[in-house]
Amino acid sequence: MILISFADTVRLSLLALLAVAAYRDIQTRRVPDYVWFPFLTVGGAIFGYELVQRFSYFTSPWMALLPLGVVMMISLIGYIGWRQGLYGGADAKAIISLAVLFPDAPYIYIGSTVFPLTPSVLNNFSITILTNAVVLSSIYPLLMLINNINSGNLSLPSCLLARCHGVDEIENVHGTLYHSIEGSLTPGLDLDALRMYLRWRGSSLATLLTSPSIHRDPDSITETFPATDGRIDVSCASAASSSAPEIDAGDSWGAAAFLNAVGPAYGTTPIMLRTGLERLSSNDTVWVSPGIPFLVPLFMGTLLALTAGNILIGLLSGFGLY
């Protein structure tokens, strides 16, 4: 027999939305804001009700409000991580939403077994989810190294942090160009910004690669088009053009004009854009750090938290360290 509270049943039903968000993160690296609305409204309503109930069996108001403090702490971690560039805005919203949805660990009774199997830190389920997600994310670089070994791409330190791609594939790849300077791997052009630039020019990567000298000349930009947000699954076939802005004769590739027109494109500078375009036009392969679609380990970490519990505590316990 399975026993679970009504509130936890409602919470668990919202995990279907998290699964959809994780899938979209893999496909497009874009998750619409409305996905998080049910987490915050439904989860917030349940959390508010449970918070009021705590005052009836805790004499200390501070103990009653402890879950609220933990939720605020996790939400702050999510916000700071986004501001520091550790992950994207959708990832931060997911962390905050899960903190509101799961302030306490849900308990599922199946026969004589109680899930999750290992306890939550501070009895807060969102901390367990975040811990599991970080542990799972740490596996990704190892998988990338194995992939590079199988492909014969063993250039250090590139093979530890990036994947080697043919230049002709780049327009359909997520991530950031990386290049090695004096043995140090340095991040460069964001590939979303590259797609924005190509769409702004009304060009394509294949066309640019066949005529880099023409594209390098700012006078070749006679009209411009909507840059979009740089995601892959966008059709620009019917986009209306505009007359080209005034471009300085020394603005190689029209990089500065592009950024003046569209604003900051994922932290791209004119120098970063020019360097990236030069590398693409002069090499057959480039290194790309794909970035981790963090919603995937976050979703998997949630499933593990519901069953195994905190996998870090489980691992430490297995080695007698907890």
Domain positions in the chain are: 2-139+293-318, 191-282
Q: What is the mean pLDDT of the chain?
A: 87
Q: Check: CB of residue 21 under 8 Å from CB of residue 94.
A: yes
Confidence category of residue 123, pLDDT binned at 50, 70, 90: low
Confidence category of residue 259, pLDDT binned at 50, 70, 90: very high
Give mean pLDDT, residues 248-265.
91
CA 89 to chain centre: 7
Q: Check: CB of residue 253 under 8 Å from CB of residue 268.
A: no
Does the pLDDT value for residue 237 go beyond 60?
no
Identity at 85, one-letter amino acid code: G
pTM comes to: 0.81
As a residue count, the chain comes to: 322
For 8-56, write each residue's pLDDT tens digit. 999 999 999 999 999 988 888 888 899 999 999 999 999 999 999 888 8
Return d(Cα 128, Cα 120) in angstroms, integer. 6
pLDDT of res. 117: 82
Confidence category of residue 122, pLDDT binned at 50, 70, 90: low
For 133-151, write each residue's pLDDT tens digit. 999 998 888 888 888 888 8
Return d(Cα 247, Cα 34) in angstroms, integer. 39
Q: Residue 307 is encoded by which pair of tokens?
A: 């069953």
Q: Check: CB of residue 279 under 8 Å from CB of residue 179.
A: yes
2-139+293-318 CATH: 1.20.120
Return d(Cα 207, Cα 190) in angstroms, integer. 19
